Amino acid sequence: MPLPYSKKVIQHFNKPHNYGKMKSPDGVGEVGNLICGDLMKLYIKVVQNKKGQDIIKDIKFSTFGCLAAIASSSMLTDLVKGKTLEQAIGFDRKEIVDELGGLPPIKIHCSVLAGDALIEAIHDYLTKNKKPIPQALNERHGQLAKEKQEVEKDHKTC
Ligand code: FES
C-alpha cells in the first residue's frame, strides 16, 4: 500500500525547488543517511547584507534519496534562502515537516538529510573563509563526518 503523503509533499517531489548543482559554490555539504544509506549534497552561495551579516543568497541540492528526502530538501531550501547563517544554523527542522503537512513516521529520517547537509555546507564555508565556527556546529560536523564514512564504507562493501 502506498504511503500517505500530503499534497504539498507530492508537489515538491514533482517539481523540486532549487534542485541541481551550483557553479562555484561558497560552501558544500555532503552527508549520508545511516538508516537507508542515501546521500545528499547541498551547495550554498553566501553574501553579506547591509549589516555585514553572512546570508544565504542561493542554495541548491542534489540527492539519491527518496520522495520524502526530495520534498523535504526542496522545502528546506525555500525556508532558509535569504536567512543569515546564524538563523540557518539555529533553524528548527520540525518546521520542514510542519510546512509539508506532515510525513509518515517511517519517513521522518529522510527529512533530516538536507538539514544535516546544510550544517556541513555552512561548516565548509566558515572553514574556507577562516571564520569562527560555533562549538555546537563543530561537534555536529564531527558526528556527521563519521556517519558519512560509515555510509560510504557500506556502499563499498555491497
Ligand atoms: Fe533514504 Fe528516504 S529512504 S532518504
Q: What is the pLDDT of residues 3-43, one digit of tens each?
A: 789 999 999 999 999 999 999 999 999 988 777 878 899 99
In the reported structure, the alpha carbon of residue 37 is separated from the centroid of ligand 1 by a whole-number distance in angstroms of 8
Q: Is the CB of 70 under 6 A from ligand 1?
A: no
pLDDT 10s digits, 66-111:
999 999 999 999 999 999 999 999 988 899 999 999 999 999 888 8
Residue 69 alpha carbon, nearest atom of ligand 1: 4
Burial 25-61 (b: 16+ CB within 10 A, else e): bbbbbbbbbeebebbbbbbbbbeeeeeeebbbebbbb
- Residue in this structure with the C-alpha cell 545511516, named with its chain if needed: 34
Residue 49: the pLDDT is 94
pTM higher than 0.95, yes or no? no
Q: What angle do CA 31, 96, 142 make, to 5 degrees?
A: 30
Q: Which residues are catalytic?
A: 36, 110
In the reported structure, the alpha carbon of residue 43 is separated from the centroid of ligand 1 by a whole-number distance in angstroms of 20
Residue 63 alpha carbon, nearest atom of ligand 1: 4
